[in-house]
C-alpha cells in the first residue's frame, strides 16, 4: 500500500474546566484529608491510608512500595531466576516436543503471527530459536493483512498454509479460532496455538488443536503468572525448546546466549502490549531493556539508531519511539517488513527498513490526529460525553481502520469512558474498543454478542466486526450495558497517590533511588507524589520550540523546587501558565533528575494540581 498524505481538518477546542479548589483542605496551611481531592484533571485518592508520620521515618521508595501493597522482598532485586519453569504452562512441553520432532524429520514449519509489536516480536523470538537449533530449517512466517484479513487465524489462510507446510504454529493469536483449527485438522496438519488473549470459558469451545499453549487454558492447572503477553508465551516456548534440545535443564552456552539476546524482543512485546508490569513481565522488561541498545540483532540496532536511542532506554522509549515504528506499517500497510527487520542479518537492509518505518509512523500520526479530532467533536456534539451516556460508539466510512484503536485510547483519556470506533465499509463495520480500569470490555462485547459478527481481545482492548444494519442496535445495547454498570462518578478519571512528600525530601539520592521501581507501566506506574501547599515564586513561563511546555519555581517548607508541565497535558499547561505569583497550590506529580552541562538537579513533573488558597 502506498503512503498518502491525508487531508487535515481544523482542530477543535474543548472548553477547559475552571481550576478546582482543594475543598478537602482544613485550611490553606493544613494537611489534606486522606479522602479524595479534585484536581484539574482527576480525583486524587491515596492508595492506602496515608498517615501524618514525618517523612523521615521511612525512605521514599519504601513508602511507595508499602502504599502499593508490595510485600515481595525480591521486587527491587528480581533476577532471571525469578522466572517460572516453562513446563508449568499448559501444553507447552507437548508443543515443544512436537516442534523438535518436526526439526528432526525435516518437516516444513510455518509461524502464523499477529501484525502488532507483540505478534511480530513473538514470531521473531521463535524463528531465531528454530534457526539456532537447525540452521537449514524449513521455516516460513505468515502475518495476515490487517485490513484484508483482520486479526487472528482465518480459515482461508490456514487452508493454504496446511497445503504447503507440515506444522502450523500460531503466536499471539488463535485461542478462539475454532473454525480455522478444524480446517487444519481436516487437512491432516498439526496446529500448535500459543496465545494470551481471553480464552473461551468452556472447554468445549476451545479450538481442536494439537496443543493449546496458554497461561489460562480452561481444563488445565493455571500457569502461576496469568498476565504474559504473546511474546512472553513465545519466549517460554523458546526457552523450553532450548532445554529439551540440550538434553536437560541446562542450556548449551550458544543457546543460553541467544535466550538472553531474545529478551530484547520479549521486552518490546511486553511493553508495547501494555500488560501489567509486575511479576514475570517486569523481569522480562527489566532485563530486556538492558539488552536492546547492545543487541546483536542488527534490526534492533538499526531501529534504535533510527529512533536516536543509544543507551539507557526505558519503557517509555518502547512505548513512544520503537513500538510505534514497528506498529505503523502493520496499521497502514502490511507488517511483513517489521518482521523482516527483526530477522535480517543484513545491516544495510535493516537500516533501509528502519528508515521506511519512520515514514510510515509519520503518516500514521497525521491520520490518527485527523480522526481523533473528528471523533472528539462527534462525541461531544452527539451527547456521548454526558453523564447519562457512559460509553462512546462512533462510526465513519472515511476513518482508517488501522489507526482507530489508537484514537479510541485518546478518547478514553479525554472523556474517561469505554469507547468503540468503527470504520463503515459497505455492509460491514470493523472496529476497535478501549476501556477504563475496572470495566471489562471483552465481557461487555460478549453480552452484546448477538449484534456482532465476531469479536476478540481482553478486558482493556478488543476488536470487533458487525453488519452495518446492526450498528444502531449494537450501540444501544452497548451503551445500556455500560450505563447499568458505571455510575456518573466512574466517568471522572482517578489518580492514585502513593504518598506525601516535601521539597526537602526530594534529594538527588532519594530520586535516583526511585529508579529501582522501574520499569514503569500498567499496574506499576511512575510514582505519584503529593506536595501540599507549595507557593509559586515568580511568573509561570513557557518553554520549548513550540512554547507548549510550562515551568515555574515553588517554595515548599522553605525549600525551592522547579516544577514543569509538559505538552502531553495541554489542558493542565494552559491553566498553569495563568497562575499568579504567591498562589498556594497542591501539586501531584513525579520527581525527575535533570542533567544539564554535567550538573544534576531535581525537578518535579506535575500531572495535576489544585488551588489551596480557597
Mean pLDDT over 69-93 rounds to: 94
- C-alpha 453/C-alpha 444 separation (Å) is 15
Q: What integer is the mean pLDDT of 520-535? A: 95
Taking the C-alpha atoms of residue 153 and residue 178, their distance in angstroms, rounded to an integer, is 9
Q: What pLDDT is stored for residue 19 in this prediction?
A: 44
Helices (H) and strands (E) in the chain, counts: 18, 19
Could you give the CA distance from residue 77 to residue 597 in angstroms, rounded to a whole number? Answer: 32
Residue pLDDT, tens place only, 121-149 = 999 999 999 999 999 999 999 999 998 89
* Residue 432 confidence (pLDDT) above 80: yes
| pLDDT at residue 188, rounded to an integer | 98
Lowest average pLDDT, out of 73-82, 102-111, 224-233, 321-330, goes to: 73-82
Band of pLDDT at residue 248, cut at 50, 70 and 90:
confident
The CA distance from 364 to 401, in Å, is 11
* Closest by CA position to 183, among listed 165, 204, 160, 211: 160
Residue 471, pLDDT > 60, answer yes
Evaluate the CA torsion angle 133, 318, 332, 464 in order and state its sign: positive
In this predicted model, what pLDDT tens digit does every residue of 144-197 receive, in sequence order? Answer: 999 889 889 999 999 999 999 999 999 999 999 999 999 999 999 999 999 999
CA distance 230 to 540: 46
CA 279 to chain centre: 16
pLDDT, position 288:
97
Query: CA angle, corner 600, sides to 595 and 605, nearest 5?
Result: 70
Question: Do the beta carbons of residue 86 and residue 92 sit within 8 Å?
Answer: yes
Report helix, strand or coil for 238: helix
DSSP for 426-437, written as a single string: TTEEEEEEE--T
Whole-angstrom distance, CA of residue 16 vs CA of residue 407: 20
**DSSP conformational letter for 493:** -
* Exposed e or buried b per residue across 349-378, where buried means at least 16 C-beta atoms within 10 angstroms of its C-beta: ebbebbebbbebbebbebbbbbbbbbbbbb
CA dist., res. 608 & res. 588, Å (int): 5
Between CA 376 and CA 490 the distance in angstroms is 20
Please give the Cα distance from 133 to 254 (Å, whole number): 10
Task: Quote the pLDDT of residue 16.
Answer: 35
Kindly give, in sequence order, each residue whose CB lies less than 8 Å from that of residue 210, ignoring residues fewer than 6 positions away: 94, 95, 98, 190, 191, 192
| DSSP symbols for 112-144 | EE-SSHHHHHHHHHHHHHHHHH-TT--EEEE--
| Nine-digit cell string for 55 | 517523612
Take residue 192 and report the three cell numbers written for it: 500448535
Average pLDDT of the residues of the chain: 90
Q: Which whole number is the average pLDDT over 378-403?
A: 95
Higher pLDDT, 575 or 315: 315
Write down the pLDDT at residue 38: 84
Q: What is the DSSP letter of 318?
A: I
Q: What's phi and psi for 25, nearest 5 deg?
A: -75, 135
Residue of 34, 576, 592 whose CA lies nearest to 316: 592
Q: Which of 47, 50, 53 is nearest to 528 (CA)?
A: 47
What number of other Cβ atoms are within 10 A of residue 61's Cβ?
17
Residue 11, pLDDT above cutoff 90:
no
Separation of alpha carbons 505 and 233, rounded Å: 42
- Residue 20 predicted with pLDDT over 50: no
Question: Which residue in this structure is represented by grid cell 477547559?
Answer: 16
**Model confidence pLDDT, tens digit, residues 24-64:** 433 333 455 545 688 888 899 999 875 444 444 689 999 99
Is 388 exposed, middle or buried (CB count within 10 Å of its CB: 0-12, 13-18, 19+)?
exposed
> What's residue 567's pLDDT?
66
Task: Give the per-residue pLDDT at 3.
Answer: 41
Q: Fill in the DSSP letter of residue 524.
A: B
- pLDDT tens-place string over residues 549-574: 888 899 999 999 999 988 655 667 77
Question: Model confidence over 271-317: pLDDT tens digits?
Answer: 999 999 999 999 999 999 999 989 999 999 999 999 999 888 999 99
Amino acid at each position: 500500500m502506498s503512503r498518502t498524505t491525508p487531508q487535515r481538518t481544523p482542530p477543535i477546542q474543548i472548553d477547559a474546566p475552571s481550576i478546582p479548589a482543594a475543598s478537602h483542605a482544613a485550611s490553606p496551611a493544613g494537611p489534606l484529608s486522606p479522602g479524595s481531592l479534585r484536581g484539574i484533571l482527576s480525583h486524587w485518592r491515596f492508595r492506602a491510608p496515608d498517615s501524618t508520620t514525618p517523612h523521615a521515618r521511612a525512605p521514599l521508595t519504601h513508602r511507595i512500595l508499602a502504599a502499593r501493597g508490595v510485600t515481595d522482598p525480591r521486587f527491587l532485586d528480581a533476577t532471571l531466576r525469578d522466572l517460572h519453569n516453562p513446563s508449568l504452562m499448559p501444553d507447552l512441553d507437548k508443543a515443544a516436543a512436537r516442534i523438535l520432532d518436526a526439526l528432526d524429520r525435516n518437516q516444513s514449519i510455518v509461524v502464523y503471527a499477529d501484525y502488532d509489536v507483540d505478534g511480530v516480536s513473538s514470531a521473531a523470538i521463535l524463528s531465531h530459536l528454530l534457526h539456532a537449533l537447525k540452521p537449514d530449517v524449513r521455516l516460513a512466517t505468515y502475518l495476515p493483512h490487517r485490513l484484508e484479513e483482520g486479526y487472528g487465524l482465518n480459515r482461508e489462510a490456514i487452508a493454504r498454509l496446511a497445503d504447503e507446510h507440515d506444522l502450523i504454529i500460531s503466536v499471539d493469536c488463535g485461542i478462539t479460532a475454532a473454525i480455522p483449527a478444524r480446517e487444519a485438522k481436516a487437512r491432516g496438519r498439526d496446529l500448535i496455538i500459543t496465545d494470551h488473549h481471553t480464552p473461551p470459558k468452556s472447554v468445549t469451545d476451545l479450538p481442536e488443536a494439537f496443543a493449546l499453549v496458554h497461561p489460562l487454558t480452561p481444563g488445565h492447572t493455571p500457569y502461576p503468572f496469568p498476565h504474559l503477553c504473546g511474546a512472553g508465551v513465545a519466549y517460554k516456548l523458546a526457552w523450553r525448546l532450548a532445554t529439551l534440545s540440550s538434553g536437560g535443564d541446562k542450556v548449551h552456552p550458544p543457546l543460553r546466549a541467544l535466550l538472553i539476546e531474545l529478551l530484547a524482543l520479549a521486552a518490546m512485546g511486553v511493553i508495547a502490549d501494555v500488560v501489567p508490569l509486575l511479576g514475570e513481565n517486569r523481569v522480562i522488561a527489566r532485563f530486556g531493556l538492558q539488552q536492546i541498545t547492545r543487541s546483536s540483532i542488527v534490526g534492533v540496532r538499526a531501529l534504535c539508531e533510527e529512533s536516536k536511542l543509544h543507551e539507557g532506554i526505558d519503557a517509555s522509549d518502547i512505548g513512544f519511539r520503537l513500538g510505534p515504528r514497528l506498529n505503523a506499517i502493520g496499521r497502514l500497510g502490511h507488517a511483513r517488513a517489521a518482521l523482516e527487520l527483526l530477522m535480517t542479518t543484513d545491516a544495510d537492509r535493516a537500516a533501509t527498513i528502519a528508515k521506511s518505518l519512520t515514514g510510515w509512523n509519520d503518516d500514521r500520526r497525521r491520520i490518527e490526529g485527523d480522526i481523533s479530532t473528528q471523533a472528539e467533536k462527534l462525541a461531544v456534539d452527539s451527547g456521548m460525553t454526558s453523564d447519562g451516556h457512559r460509553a462512546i460508539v462512533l462510526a465513519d466510512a472515511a476513518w482508517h481502520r488501522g489507526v482507530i484503536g489508537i484514537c479510541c485510547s485518546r478518547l478514553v483519556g479525554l472523556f474517561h469512558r469505554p469507547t468503540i470506533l468503527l470504520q463503515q465499509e459497505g455492509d460491514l463495520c470493523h472496529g476497535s474498543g478501549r476501556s477504563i480500569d475496572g470495566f471489562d470490555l471483552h465481557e461487555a462485547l460478549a453480552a452484546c454478542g448477538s449484534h456482532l459478527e465476531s469479536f476478540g481481545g481482553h478486558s482493556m482492548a478488543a476488536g470487533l466486526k458487525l453488519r452495518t444494519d446492526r450498528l444502531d442496535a449494537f450501540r444501544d445495547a452497548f451503551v445500556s450495558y455500560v450505563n447499568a454498570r458505571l455510575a456518573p462518578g466512574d466517568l471522572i478519571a482517578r489518580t492514585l497517590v502513593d504518598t506525601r512528600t516535601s521539597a526537602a525530601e526530594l534529594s538527588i539520592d532519594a530520586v535516583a533511588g526511585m529508579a529501582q521501581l522501574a520499569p514503569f507501566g500498567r499496574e506499576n506506574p511512575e510514582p505519584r507524589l503529593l506536595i501540599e501547599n507549595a507557593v509559586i515564586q515568580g511568573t509561570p513561563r513557557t518553554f520549548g520550540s513550540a512554547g507548549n511546555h510550562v515551568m515555574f519555581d515553588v517554595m515548599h517548607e522553605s525549600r525551592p523546587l522547579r516544577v514543569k508541565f509538559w505538552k502531553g497535558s495541554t489542558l493542565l499547561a494552559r491553566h498553569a501558565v495563568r497562575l499568579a505569583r504567591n498562589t498556594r497550590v497542591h501539586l501531584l506529580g513525579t520527581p525527575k533528575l535533570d542533567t544539564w552541562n554535567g550538573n544534576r538537579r531535581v525537578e518535579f513533573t506535575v500531572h495535576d494540581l489544585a488551588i489551596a488558597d480557597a
